[in-house]
Amino acid sequence: MKVGVLFSGGKDSVYSLYKAMKEHEVVVLITLKPLNPESYMFHYPSIEVTKLQAEAIGIPQIFKTTKGEKEKELEDLKEAIKEAKEKYGIEGIVSGAIASTYQKSRIDKICEELGLESIAPLWHKDPKTLLLDILGAGFKIIITGVAAGGLEKEWLGKEIDLFAFKQLCDLHNTCYICTAGEGGEFETLVIDGPIFKKRIKIEEAETVWDGSAGMFLIKKARLEDKN
Protein backbone atom coordinates (compact mmCIF):
# COMPACT_ATOMS: atom_id res chain seq x y z
CA MET A 1 0.00 0.00 0.00
CA LYS A 2 1.23 3.51 -0.81
CA VAL A 3 1.30 5.59 2.35
CA GLY A 4 2.27 9.00 3.63
CA VAL A 5 3.79 9.47 7.08
CA LEU A 6 2.96 12.35 9.43
CA PHE A 7 6.49 13.42 10.17
CA SER A 8 7.66 15.64 13.03
CA GLY A 9 11.24 14.39 13.08
CA GLY A 10 10.84 13.14 16.64
CA LYS A 11 11.44 9.58 17.80
CA ASP A 12 7.83 8.39 17.45
CA SER A 13 7.22 9.62 13.91
CA VAL A 14 10.65 8.39 12.75
CA TYR A 15 10.14 4.97 14.30
CA SER A 16 6.63 4.77 12.81
CA LEU A 17 8.21 5.55 9.43
CA TYR A 18 10.82 2.83 10.04
CA LYS A 19 8.11 0.27 10.78
CA ALA A 20 5.93 1.43 7.88
CA MET A 21 8.82 1.04 5.43
CA LYS A 22 8.90 -2.66 6.29
CA GLU A 23 5.26 -3.21 5.32
CA HIS A 24 4.24 -0.45 2.91
CA GLU A 25 5.56 1.78 0.16
CA VAL A 26 6.24 5.12 1.84
CA VAL A 27 6.07 7.77 -0.88
CA VAL A 28 5.86 11.05 1.06
CA LEU A 29 6.47 12.62 4.45
CA ILE A 30 3.98 15.23 5.65
CA THR A 31 5.15 17.92 8.05
CA LEU A 32 3.26 20.87 9.49
CA LYS A 33 5.13 23.66 11.23
CA PRO A 34 2.96 25.33 13.89
CA LEU A 35 3.46 29.06 14.40
CA ASN A 36 2.02 28.50 17.89
CA PRO A 37 4.45 26.73 20.30
CA GLU A 38 1.42 25.44 22.23
CA SER A 39 -0.06 23.54 19.28
CA TYR A 40 -2.23 20.61 20.38
CA MET A 41 -1.39 18.55 17.30
CA PHE A 42 2.09 19.35 16.05
CA HIS A 43 5.71 19.15 17.17
CA TYR A 44 7.35 22.59 17.52
CA PRO A 45 11.07 22.77 18.44
CA SER A 46 13.48 22.68 15.47
CA ILE A 47 10.81 21.43 13.05
CA GLU A 48 12.79 22.90 10.12
CA VAL A 49 15.36 20.12 10.58
CA THR A 50 12.82 17.65 9.17
CA LYS A 51 13.86 18.93 5.74
CA LEU A 52 17.36 17.57 6.34
CA GLN A 53 15.93 14.34 7.72
CA ALA A 54 13.76 13.86 4.64
CA GLU A 55 16.82 14.40 2.44
CA ALA A 56 18.90 12.01 4.54
CA ILE A 57 16.21 9.32 4.33
CA GLY A 58 15.50 9.97 0.65
CA ILE A 59 11.71 10.45 0.72
CA PRO A 60 9.90 13.54 -0.68
CA GLN A 61 8.34 15.88 1.86
CA ILE A 62 5.28 18.11 1.93
CA PHE A 63 6.12 20.92 4.38
CA LYS A 64 3.40 23.38 5.37
CA THR A 65 2.87 26.00 8.06
CA THR A 66 -0.17 26.32 10.30
CA LYS A 67 -1.17 28.94 12.85
CA GLY A 68 -1.46 26.08 15.30
CA GLU A 69 -4.86 27.12 16.62
CA LYS A 70 -6.78 24.35 18.37
CA GLU A 71 -9.12 22.51 15.96
CA LYS A 72 -8.48 25.03 13.13
CA GLU A 73 -5.06 23.49 12.59
CA LEU A 74 -6.84 20.29 11.62
CA GLU A 75 -8.05 21.92 8.41
CA ASP A 76 -4.44 22.66 7.50
CA LEU A 77 -3.53 19.04 8.20
CA LYS A 78 -6.42 17.82 6.07
CA GLU A 79 -5.32 20.01 3.16
CA ALA A 80 -1.76 18.69 3.38
CA ILE A 81 -2.97 15.09 3.43
CA LYS A 82 -5.32 15.82 0.54
CA GLU A 83 -2.37 17.20 -1.44
CA ALA A 84 -0.39 14.04 -0.66
CA LYS A 85 -3.26 11.89 -1.91
CA GLU A 86 -3.61 13.85 -5.14
CA LYS A 87 0.12 14.17 -5.85
CA TYR A 88 1.45 10.81 -4.64
CA GLY A 89 -1.61 8.54 -4.79
CA ILE A 90 -1.43 7.51 -1.15
CA GLU A 91 -3.96 5.05 0.23
CA GLY A 92 -3.14 5.43 3.91
CA ILE A 93 -1.62 7.73 6.55
CA VAL A 94 0.86 6.58 9.18
CA SER A 95 1.08 8.44 12.48
CA GLY A 96 3.23 8.08 15.57
CA ALA A 97 0.37 8.24 18.06
CA ILE A 98 0.99 6.19 21.19
CA ALA A 99 -1.72 7.11 23.71
CA SER A 100 -3.20 10.47 22.74
CA THR A 101 -6.83 9.85 21.87
CA TYR A 102 -7.12 13.57 21.05
CA GLN A 103 -4.60 13.27 18.23
CA LYS A 104 -5.47 9.82 16.95
CA SER A 105 -9.23 10.41 16.81
CA ARG A 106 -8.74 13.52 14.73
CA ILE A 107 -6.31 11.84 12.35
CA ASP A 108 -8.75 8.93 12.03
CA LYS A 109 -11.57 11.34 11.18
CA ILE A 110 -9.55 13.14 8.49
CA CYS A 111 -8.55 9.82 6.95
CA GLU A 112 -12.15 8.64 6.93
CA GLU A 113 -13.25 11.84 5.20
CA LEU A 114 -10.53 11.46 2.55
CA GLY A 115 -11.04 7.72 2.04
CA LEU A 116 -7.67 6.76 3.51
CA GLU A 117 -6.62 4.10 5.99
CA SER A 118 -5.29 5.40 9.30
CA ILE A 119 -2.28 3.40 10.51
CA ALA A 120 -0.77 3.84 13.99
CA PRO A 121 1.92 1.18 14.46
CA LEU A 122 2.88 2.40 17.96
CA TRP A 123 -0.65 2.70 19.35
CA HIS A 124 -0.88 1.57 22.99
CA LYS A 125 2.69 0.26 23.06
CA ASP A 126 4.32 0.23 26.50
CA PRO A 127 6.37 3.49 26.70
CA LYS A 128 9.48 1.96 28.28
CA THR A 129 9.54 -0.99 25.90
CA LEU A 130 8.97 1.30 22.93
CA LEU A 131 11.83 3.64 23.81
CA LEU A 132 14.15 0.68 24.32
CA ASP A 133 13.08 -0.71 20.93
CA ILE A 134 13.86 2.61 19.25
CA LEU A 135 17.28 2.79 20.85
CA GLY A 136 17.91 -0.88 20.10
CA ALA A 137 17.14 -0.31 16.41
CA GLY A 138 20.04 2.14 16.29
CA PHE A 139 18.36 5.55 16.27
CA LYS A 140 20.21 8.52 17.77
CA ILE A 141 17.81 10.84 19.59
CA ILE A 142 18.30 14.22 21.26
CA ILE A 143 15.90 16.17 23.46
CA THR A 144 14.73 19.47 21.95
CA GLY A 145 12.09 20.51 24.47
CA VAL A 146 11.22 19.90 28.13
CA ALA A 147 8.13 20.89 30.08
CA ALA A 148 7.88 18.81 33.24
CA GLY A 149 9.15 18.81 36.79
CA GLY A 150 12.42 16.90 37.05
CA LEU A 151 13.54 17.75 33.53
CA GLU A 152 15.90 20.67 33.94
CA LYS A 153 17.85 22.85 31.53
CA GLU A 154 20.72 20.34 31.22
CA TRP A 155 18.38 17.91 29.43
CA LEU A 156 18.09 20.23 26.43
CA GLY A 157 20.23 18.95 23.57
CA LYS A 158 21.02 15.77 25.51
CA GLU A 159 21.18 12.43 23.69
CA ILE A 160 18.85 9.73 24.98
CA ASP A 161 21.20 6.81 25.52
CA LEU A 162 20.69 3.88 27.91
CA PHE A 163 21.87 5.95 30.89
CA ALA A 164 19.43 8.75 30.04
CA PHE A 165 16.73 6.11 29.58
CA LYS A 166 17.34 4.91 33.15
CA GLN A 167 17.12 8.50 34.38
CA LEU A 168 13.77 8.93 32.62
CA CYS A 169 12.53 5.73 34.21
CA ASP A 170 13.59 7.00 37.64
CA LEU A 171 11.78 10.29 37.00
CA HIS A 172 8.70 8.34 35.97
CA ASN A 173 8.76 6.58 39.31
CA THR A 174 9.14 9.80 41.32
CA CYS A 175 7.09 12.43 39.46
CA TYR A 176 5.26 10.44 36.75
CA ILE A 177 7.04 11.67 33.67
CA CYS A 178 5.93 9.45 30.79
CA THR A 179 9.04 7.62 29.62
CA ALA A 180 7.94 8.20 26.02
CA GLY A 181 7.19 11.90 26.56
CA GLU A 182 3.67 11.29 25.29
CA GLY A 183 2.17 13.87 27.64
CA GLY A 184 4.37 16.64 26.23
CA GLU A 185 6.96 16.22 29.00
CA PHE A 186 9.72 16.34 26.42
CA GLU A 187 10.19 16.66 22.65
CA THR A 188 12.82 14.89 20.60
CA LEU A 189 14.72 14.97 17.31
CA VAL A 190 16.31 11.99 15.56
CA ILE A 191 19.72 12.81 14.12
CA ASP A 192 20.73 9.39 12.80
CA GLY A 193 19.46 5.86 12.37
CA PRO A 194 19.30 2.78 10.13
CA ILE A 195 17.10 4.50 7.53
CA PHE A 196 19.35 7.59 7.32
CA LYS A 197 21.78 7.59 4.42
CA LYS A 198 23.58 10.51 6.08
CA ARG A 199 23.50 11.80 9.65
CA ILE A 200 22.61 15.26 10.89
CA LYS A 201 25.42 17.39 12.27
CA ILE A 202 24.27 20.26 14.48
CA GLU A 203 26.59 23.24 14.04
CA GLU A 204 24.77 25.96 15.97
CA ALA A 205 21.98 25.84 18.54
CA GLU A 206 20.40 28.03 21.20
CA THR A 207 19.01 26.91 24.54
CA VAL A 208 15.93 28.81 25.70
CA TRP A 209 14.95 28.31 29.35
CA ASP A 210 12.28 30.08 31.41
CA GLY A 211 12.97 28.43 34.74
CA SER A 212 10.59 25.51 34.37
CA ALA A 213 10.50 24.66 30.66
CA GLY A 214 12.66 25.19 27.62
CA MET A 215 13.63 24.43 24.05
CA PHE A 216 16.79 23.48 22.19
CA LEU A 217 16.55 25.53 19.01
CA ILE A 218 18.79 24.42 16.17
CA LYS A 219 20.05 27.41 14.22
CA LYS A 220 22.36 25.65 11.78
CA ALA A 221 22.71 22.01 10.79
CA ARG A 222 23.94 20.01 7.83
CA LEU A 223 24.16 16.44 6.59
CA GLU A 224 27.43 14.59 6.86
CA ASP A 225 28.58 11.23 5.55
CA LYS A 226 28.62 8.27 7.89
CA ASN A 227 31.94 6.64 8.66
How far, in Å, are 31, 53, 122, 182 from residue 58 at the CA level? Answer: 15, 8, 23, 27
pLDDT band at residue 167, thresholds of 50, 70 and 90?
Answer: confident
Looking at 92, 119, 146, which one is the last position of a domain?
A: 119
pLDDT tens figures, 90-108: 999 999 988 888 889 999 9
pLDDT: which is higher, 151 or 107: 107
Q: Which domain holds residue 49?
A: 2-119
Both 156 and 60 in one domain: the answer is no
Mean pLDDT, residues 133-150 taken together: 91
CATH classification of the domain holding 9: 3.40.50.620
Mean pLDDT, residues 118-144 taken together: 93
| Average pLDDT over all residues of the chain | 89
How far, in Å, are 2, 61, 200, 203, 222 from residue 52 at the CA level? Answer: 23, 10, 7, 13, 7
pLDDT band at residue 212, thresholds of 50, 70 and 90?
Answer: confident
pLDDT band at residue 182, thresholds of 50, 70 and 90?
Answer: low
Beta bridge partners of 92: 3, 117
Both 216 and 113 in one domain: the answer is no
DSSP tag of 7: -
Measure the CA–CA gap between 136 and 140, rounded to whole angstroms. 10
Contact 48, 81 (CB under 8 A): no
Single pTM value for the model: 0.91
